[in-house]
Chain A
Amino acid sequence: MSIQILGLNEINGPLVALENVPDVGFDELVELKLNNGTARLGRVVQIAGSTCIIQVFEGTSNLSLNNCTVKFFGEPMKMPLSEEILGRVFNGSGRPLDGLGEVYAEKRLDINGQPMNPVSRVYPQNYINTGISSIDCLMTLIRGQKLPIFSGAGMQHDKLAVQIVRQSNISEDSGGRFAIVFAAMGVKNDVADYFRRSFEEAGVMDKVVMFLNLSNDPIIERILTPRCALTVAEYLAFEKNMHILVITTDMTSYCEALREFSSSKGEIPGRKGFPGYLYSDLASLYERAGVADGAQGSVTQLPILTMPNDDITHPVPDLTGYITEGQIVLDRTLDQTGIYPPVSTLPSLSRLMKDGIGEGFTRKDHSAVANQLFAAYANVQDIRALAAVIGEEELTQSDRQFMRFGELFEQRFISQPFTENRSIEETLDLGWSILSVLPRGALDRVDDETLNQYYDHEAARKRFGIE
């Protein structure tokens, strides 16, 4: 039986305090019914004796101390789930936005989830082909991985996310079903629209579950949005055996909402005012990616975050990078020179890649070509720095070859039209072809056998029109 209490004792930001509550559980869900007939949801965040503090999801505006009734549900917030959830659109706290009514629930799960037992995890090994050369070759996305995109305001991360969603191909084995859970947190209206439209155009809308929390929605809802989305993802992956790609954008907005909420509770702030538990909080989201023993499905996460002031040491990208298994960093200089996707190769990394590529997954020479491209491009950066000082004319012959390699690498390999879907073979062959403009002796990360097979200086010169 649920308890109902009339009136409140204190309102402060998104928090309300209630006294003389007889029996209430930590993290319990509550509903505040206003006199005008509307209702809001909330959650118990602190209890001291018979006093409890409730965080109201839809904000506290219009609430007064005596215009509402609080109803306690006796359980934490749960998300109603069934397979029919595909194709639906929800708001940030999991309420339907599309006018199709409540989900007819087959199961209801706590949105906070539970930590996965490390011994129940299966080490992720199967790769996801995104059709984007820079990602497939240099920072391969693995099923069950969490690989964030570090972007900045004004860069084309949304376009890249759409391209990944459209091209991602996982059906090559077992006929596993693929679906996308998309959670927008604090995004602009037109960005949410852009995603919705792009999904419709790509014909994938029936495989998408959307959660929309726009930038003018209450911040408290924003804290729930990724949790609802991941609960749906876990349900579909581990109970319905589907492969789920979760795209969450923008994690920076989420963290700022968390900061706002934390400061309204009067907590001691850590770096840049973010709460000290930001790492644990982010981990409780990101760690929900994975492959579980005994289930056919997987949860892959592609969180997008904008680095404030393009600063990768800002707490949000920094803590994210410590939790996720690599990162895809977008670079403003590349973006400005018209290279799309502007993937900055050197700071980007996929940690799970080494075990998910090579023979049996992609191709035997994959790690050789990837390592050599990294090393050669790192060298290009040094030479460019030197050239900036002494002028290109003064460079040695070999340095000039590297400069040309760098240009080709950016223009032909990294850069790729929005509509082009490159197969892994095309990508790797292109990589070899660009490497082949360098003298054979410069490729010091590759053994001779592989070079004999793929290195072709003359063909490369012809292909790229080098005298």
Chain B
Amino acid sequence: MSANTVFSINGPVIKVKDTKDFAMMEMVYVGNKNLIGEVISISSDYTTIQVYESTTGLHPGEPVTGTGSPLCATLGPGILENIFDGIERPLQKIKALSGIYIEEGCNIPSLDEARLWDVSIPVRKGDILDGGMTYATCPETSLIEHRCIVPSDINGEIIFVAENGKYTIKDTLVTVKDANGAVHTLTLAQKWPIRQSRPIRERLPISMPLITGQRIIDTMFPIAKGGTAAIPGGFGTGKTMTQHQLAKWCDADIIVYVGCGERGNEMTQVLDEFSSLIDPKSGASLTARTVLIANTSNMPVAAREASIYTGITLAEYYRDMGYHVAIMADSTSRWAEALREISGRLEEMPAEEGFPAYLPSRISQFYERAGYVTTLSGKDGSVSIIGAVSPQGADFSEPVTQNTKRFVRCFWALDKSLAYARHYPAINWTTSYSEYIDDLSAWYETNVDKSFLPHRQAIANILHEENKLMEIVKLIGSDVLPDDQKLVIETAKLVRVGFLQQNAFHKDDTFVPMEKQLKMMGIILYLYNKLKDALAHGAIFSDIARTDLFETIIKMKYDIPNDNLALFDRYYKQVDEAIEKLISQKG
């Protein structure tokens, strides 16, 4: 192979002239510093490469060498509790190597090659291995058992098995001879091209919700395990905050958090907060189930484009072990902008707002990697995707939001005016939707209560009614409304402040179990129906307003601890007594 050299340089895009040595999507090393790059287009004249690091100081004539394989993620124990950049380089190691800044050409292995893992190997010599079978396990963190899966393209008879014991990710654990006589060695780690989805046995229908402990999500707009959701919102509306809450509390086994083109300080916050938080179910630190991918806005733009794929590949890998994985991508708009930036450098014909015409297909390819599946090993696993979208000018008609909307089934629209009023989570209940309600209704009926869905609908109706009435109130004030409509407005306020609004910094309110969510709805509706009755029997709304019923119940999220739901009975008694008094006064 004759030496290939850099011909032209334009930002992160370089070209190599007159070569036929490279394959599409092949990973290459560029220049004397060995910058990592990927082949993105090939013609008979030029091979175009996007470089994942800064090209400052690169000269034409410097060498470009191919690696013969596409950009791959290294998969093996040591991924959890770790923090990587967009192309899976370990940031802690880079810090040890190059200080507070990231220098170019830091080519260090993704996973710690010296660390010894306590491996048990359940297979025996002579066994027939097939793609998807587990050949080794080791405890990766205090929460998660790492299961090494045979790659789907390898099968055959085992001709060597190592003893159970301590091994690094480089040591050979199992050797397999396939039908053609070729010998494959299996270690703890394997590689997988990030742009290709990992194989599964079959997709299963959606049936279980991803419980997040956030009332507006779990009750009003639930997301399913294996589902997809988008959180669009202008700046300051709390996208990141919502993502953090979900990453902390949702009942997935593994969390992959991708900070894609966002703020550096936010990643630090995730690191700090997650290591100090304790998972309520297991008592272990939250980092034990989390992997972070941080490609902040000032890090190279091409690696930002790759970070989303790296994240989803890691997610799929853990799904294949039979875990439920949730991946948070914050923010997919930055990823789309990276696509636009690279597309611009390639001088491709732009479609809407300068975005390339293939934007919708790339977005759908990403979201379609979610799903509830039976893995090759016959276990159930899922990948749920929650993507934040940062629309320009908070205008939801821009291309990224619109195209995302077509490919997700859950849409949590964040609202600026709610955020201004410090109503968090600022998810707007009129523009958001979830298509999973029907899929999940059976689960709610068996696992929560038969009354859950009717309650949910009743609450939604009150909010809807309020929305209509507010049009009038805005014009002429609430005083002129008839009493029953005043009651709707007051109850809707109770729903908004007492139920939908949730305090992420309060120890009980930050995560609310389904049972409490149901009971909270229950008491609100009980109060509403009782008062409606009372009004029908001649009570006057101004008398009702003078009782402290609304004020008391609005504080239920703080006053009732999550572990003592029996206290709700107190409210029922209070409501009954107050109404009796109202009616007796009248009588």
Which residues in A have some Cβ–Cβ distance to B below 8 Å? 23-28, 46-50, 75-76, 110, 112-124, 144-145, 238, 267-271, 275-277, 279-280, 283-284, 286-288, 290, 292-295, 312-315, 318-319, 321-323, 325-327, 346-347, 349, 351-352, 354-355, 371, 374-375, 378, 385-386, 389-390, 394-396, 441, 444-445, 447
Contact = CB atoms under 8 A, between A and B. Distances in A.
Interface of B: 7-10, 15, 17, 54-61, 83, 91-92, 94-95, 98-103, 234-236, 259, 261, 263-265, 267-269, 271-272, 294, 296-301, 334, 337-338, 340-341, 344, 347, 350, 353-354, 390, 392-395, 420-422, 473-477, 479, 497, 505, 551, 554, 558
A251 to B, nearest CB: 15
Contacts of A315: 392-393
A327 B390 CA distance: 16
Nearest to B393: A313
A335 B564 CA distance: 52
25 contacts: A25-B56, A25-B59, A26-B58, A46-B8, A48-B15, A112-B54, A114-B103, A116-B102, A117-B98, A117-B102, A119-B92, A123-B269, A276-B340, A276-B344, A276-B354, A279-B334, A290-B265, A314-B393, A321-B235, A352-B265, A378-B421, A378-B422, A389-B475, A390-B476, A396-B479
A49 B14 CA distance: 11
Given A76-B57, A276-B337, A389-B476, A117 B421 contact: no
A49 B57 contact: no
A48 B236 contact: no
Given A47-B8, A117-B95, A280-B261, 20 more contacts: A28-B57, A76-B56, A116-B102, A117-B100, A118-B259, A120-B100, A121-B264, A283-B261, A283-B297, A284-B297, A292-B100, A314-B393, A315-B392, A322-B235, A347-B420, A352-B265, A354-B505, A375-B422, A385-B474, A386-B477
B470 to A, nearest CB: 10
A26 B477 CA distance: 65
A271 to B, nearest CB: 6
Q: Which of A145, A280, A313, A385 has the most CB of B within 10 A?
A: A280
A119 B271 contact: yes
Main DSSP-derived SS at the A contact region: mixed
A295 B61 CA distance: 39
B20 to A, nearest CB: 19
Nearest to B99: A120
A23 B5 CA distance: 13
A290 B393 CA distance: 26
Nearest to B504: A354
A262 to B, nearest CB: 10
A113 B103 CA distance: 10
Main DSSP-derived SS at the B contact region: mixed
A303 to B, nearest CB: 14
A315 B337 CA distance: 14
A115 B299 contact: yes
Contacts of A349: 236
Contacts of A371: 422
A163 B50 CA distance: 46
A386 B474 contact: yes
Contacts of B54: 112, 114
Contacts of A295: 100
B236 A46 contact: no
The 10 closest A-B pairs by CB, nearest first: A313-B393, A283-B297, A287-B298, A48-B8, A114-B101, A321-B235, A27-B56, A120-B100, A378-B421, A270-B354
Contacts of B393: 312-315, 318
A288 B299 CA distance: 11
Contacts of B479: 394, 396
Contacts of B57: 25-28, 75-76
